[in-house]
Amino acid sequence: MAKTPAAKEASKERRGGRLAAYVEATRSPLTAAALTLPLLCFYGLGSIFLADARNGVDIVSVGLSWLFASLNSEGWRPYALFYGVLILLNLGLIVWLKRRDRFDGRYFVPLIAECAVYAIATGTLSSYLTRNVLDAMHLTVLPLATGTGIGAVTGLFVSAGAGLHEELVFRLIGIGGVARLWLGADWRRRTGRLLVVTLISALVFSAVHHIVEPFRFSAFLFRTFAGLVFAALFLGRGFAVAAWTHALYDVWVIVVLGR
């Protein structure tokens, strides 16, 4: 039996209500803590059992590798201790946040699907903008990378670490933390100062990659645009979406494309 116009409108309102509830819930601190816990656990296990995964492409992995080496504390034990503490802190945060919020695990699958779309869009948009800027400057467009030389399994661990660590450092702290200290509780308002914080975060995010690889302007420009996309996702959709989008993008680049 065909639906009446009133029934169709009611069905549309229910779908809109579910979508609004999903968007609101996936932006919450509780959801961010709960849905990024798998990334933390997965990379933590990789750091313990795979030596190659400890030397990831993100600043936290590089920093930890340097720190433990300087302390003559190499091997899996310091990583087990470090990530074990982080996992316990994350679990404690989830328990604390659950006192005033509710987490729905059914949001995990649609969030991953949403982030997969954003991951493809990130690479496409960043490549398009980079190519157009370089063409305008009459510069040669060089490939972003020449290959990591790591296996697929290690690539999955490295991608998880990069997605979690870099979004934590450059978006949650670099934008959220800095903007809140500078702009106060209403830091999410679209102001020129928030734009400055966001742009600086993207530039620093791009620049630190050249600590471990030679500087190339095309790669720097590409990552700056990607950093702006991740920043927009963080501001508009929250930390969990930004972290998973970044991780899935790296899976596509490192594991699927082998770059």
Residue 258: half-sphere exposure toward Cβ, Cα within 13 Å: 2
Question: Model-level pTM?
Answer: 0.89
Contact 242, 228 (CB under 8 A): no
| Distance, CA of 168 to CA of 154 (rounded, Å) | 21
Range with the poorest average pLDDT among 25-39, 46-60, 105-119, 158-172:
46-60
Measured distance CA(211)–CA(195) in Å, rounded: 25
Q: Are 226 and 245 in contact (CB under 8 A)?
A: no
Which residue bears the tokens 């720190």? 67
Return the sign of the alpha-carbon dihedral for residues 91, 94, 96, 102: negative
Question: Which pLDDT band, with edges at 50, 70 and 90, does 212 fall under?
Answer: confident
pLDDT tens for 3-20 read 554 444 445 445 568 899
Higher pLDDT pick, 55 / 69: 69
pLDDT tens for 117-171 read 999 999 999 999 999 999 888 777 665 554 556 788 899 999 999 999 999 999 9
What is the model's pLDDT at position 184? 82
Report the first-to-last Cα separation within the chain, whole angstroms: 54
Q: Whole-angstrom Cα distance, residue 204 to residue 207?
A: 5
Under 8 Å CB-to-CB from 237, ≥6 apart: which residues?
23, 26, 27
Phi, psi of 75 (to 5 degrees): 100, -170
Q: Give residues with Cβ within 8 angstroms of 47, minimum separation 6.
A: 53, 54, 61, 76, 79, 80, 83, 157, 161
Task: Supply 204's token pair.
Answer: 């620093």
Q: What is the pLDDT of residues 218-227, one digit of tens each?
A: 999 999 999 9
Cα separation, 166 vs 183, whole angstroms:
23
Q: Is residue 249 within 8 Å of 139, Cβ to Cβ?
A: no
Q: What is the pLDDT of residue 13?
A: 41
How many whole angstroms separate alpha carbon 224 and alpha carbon 219? 9
